[in-house]
Amino acid sequence: MHEITALQYALEKRGRRPIVVVEKPVLATGRTSDMPVVCNLTASRALVARALGINDHRSAAPIYAKKTGTPIAPKVVSANDAPVQEIVHEGAAADLTLLPALKQHTFDPGPYLTAAHATTYDPDTGVDNTAIQRCWIKGPGRMSYYPYPASHNNRNMRKFWARGQDCPVVFWIGHHPAVLMGTQAKLGYPESHWSACGGLIGAPLRVVPSRTFGDKIMVPADAEIVIEGYALKDQSEADGPFGEYTGYSGPQVAAPVVQVTCMTRRKNALYHDYGSGLTDMLVPDNMAMEGKVYSLVKAVAPSLVNVHVPAQGRRFHAYLQFAKPGPGEVRDGLAAALAYRRLKMVIAVDDDIDLFDDSEMMFALATRVQWSRDSFTIDGLSGSLLDPSTAAGAKTLSKMAIDATFPLPPSPGAPSPVPPRSKVPDAALTAAAKVLAGVETADWPTL
């Protein structure tokens, strides 16, 4: 079952990001599944932006921040109006091994659900939470489930366990990419993702009571597949190693065990898989991060105009773009971004630098930074301990900010006290483009 993930790697190597559909996937047992696998659904920033109704992916950060910050409450529909409950398998009839779950990377011990949106609720307030969290299918009705220790789902689970109860949990798989993006909104605790989804899609998200938990846990009515069950109190088993977003294989951990009570699905369900650590998974998460970072930084630095969280930086890097920042504003913005747990390095640039072009970012770093003056590090901030560079036993990270902006003009209307960028007139560029139009350049050297 590594072949589908291998295809994604091959496509990435070629710089191509199409959606991949495998109509007749072969299961680990050798049997062919009738349920198609869809992957690479969100590998392309351009396609994800289009799914959100955004013309240019470069403008996603402020739009995502605005839409998810304008919540629309979900709409509850009946089971008869919920495609995801067209087929219901309860008890022993619910068989996880019939799903075409993939074994992606060499150290992965078995087939994993990688696009399972785990929904739990806070027993104190009843507010639900949703996050993509991995599950290793261990048997027909049993899987390990790894809610990262800092996650809101983990907090909910521990609250149930502290009451001596198993934790109700529902996993739903597959939906419109805009809904998938909505569930990646970075919210406070406790705060439901359904309303952020509604804001992003501009309409109430249709939800239906789950079969096992009723209206205590709703599920998206238009999802493809739902798995319902309990994270068993104080039961842990080995989970992983697992290929992570860092591009490295994360270590084996002790993870909760889920006992499945019910599975529902559409009649012609598609099974969605995220290529873990590939742009397929990084792009939607990073675009959602752009919205979060935009909101955080904009609150202290109004001259912020854009944010890019590049896939090649995993989740650790962010680029901030400013237009005519006031004194201290860039550093205020850099400090605000560093406080966001996921980020480890933040670079600020001017609005003449293309945030989405690494050669432009390197140009800014090469020509606008004196390191002792324009960079600062802060130790002891929260961050991802999956970062292979952290010290053994560390609980916090060392983070860095770089101000790669130029100084402002000394007075309004005056030129900045820096040299102008070299350029040729626009008319000459247009003429050059005409010269090259229609010329075959495929054999010309690129390096």
* Strand partners of residue 399: 378
Print the binding letters for residues 392-421 with another protein: x by CB under 8 A, - otherwise.
Answer: xxx---------------------------
Residue number with CB closer to another protein (106 or 411):
106
Please tell me whether residue 388 binds another protein under the rule CB under 8 A.
yes
Rg over CA atoms, the chain:
24
Q: Which stretch binds another protein (CB under 8 A): 244-252, 299-307, 348-356, 425-433?
A: 244-252
Q: How far is the CB of 254 from another protein (least distance, A)?
A: 4
* Least distance from another protein to the Cβ atom of residue 109, Å: 4
How far is the C-alpha of 287 from the C-alpha of 52, rounded, in Å?
Answer: 11
Q: Which is nearer to another protein, 6 or 429 (CB)?
A: 6
With respect to another protein, which residue has the nearer C-beta, 393 or 407? 393
Rounded to whole angstroms, the Cα distance separating 52 from 307 reads 17
The nearer residue to another protein, 141 or 256, going by C-beta atoms, is: 256
**Residue 303 lies near another protein (rule: CB under 8 A):** no
What minimum distance in Å lies between the beta carbon of 252 and another protein?
A: 5
Within residues 319-348, the interface with another protein by CB under 8 A covers: none
Q: How far is the CB of 308 from another protein (least distance, A)?
A: 28
Which residue, 247 or 388, is less far from another protein as judged by CB? Answer: 388
Question: In what order do the strands lie in the sheet containing 271-272?
Answer: 20-22, 37-39, 271-272
Cβ-based burial of 110 (10 A; exposed 0-12, middle 13-18, buried ≥19): middle
Contact between 250 and 242 under an 8 Å Cβ cutoff? The reply is yes
- The residues, any chain, with a CB within 8 Å of residue 356's CB and separated by 6 or more, are 58, 308, 310
Pick the piece of the chain touching another protein (CB under 8 A) from 38-46, 194-202, 237-245, 408-416: 237-245
251 lies in the site for another protein, by CB under 8 A: yes
- Identify whether the C-beta of residue 87 lies closer than 8 Å to the C-beta of residue 264: yes
SS3 436: helix
* Angle at CA of residue 120, ends 119 and 125, nearest 5°: 130
Tell the smallest beta-carbon distance from residue 388 to another protein (Å).
7
Among 32, 55, 70, 252, binds another protein (CB under 8 A): 252
Output the CA torsion sign for 385, 388, 393, 398.
negative
Binding mask 94-123 for another protein (x = CB under 8 A): -------------xxx--------------
Q: Is 254 in the site for another protein (CB under 8 A)?
A: yes
Whole-angstrom CA distances from 209 to 213, 216, 270 are 7, 7, 21
**225 and 174 Cβ atoms separated by less than 8 Å:** yes
- Give min distance, CB of 150 to another protein, in A: 13
Q: Which amino acid type is present at position 96?
A: L
d(CA 315, CA 28): 31
- Count of residues in contact with another protein, rule CB under 8 A: 21
Q: How far is the CB of 88 from another protein (least distance, A)?
A: 32
Task: Give the residues lining the site for another protein (CB under 8 A).
Answer: 107-109, 236-238, 240-241, 249-254, 388-394
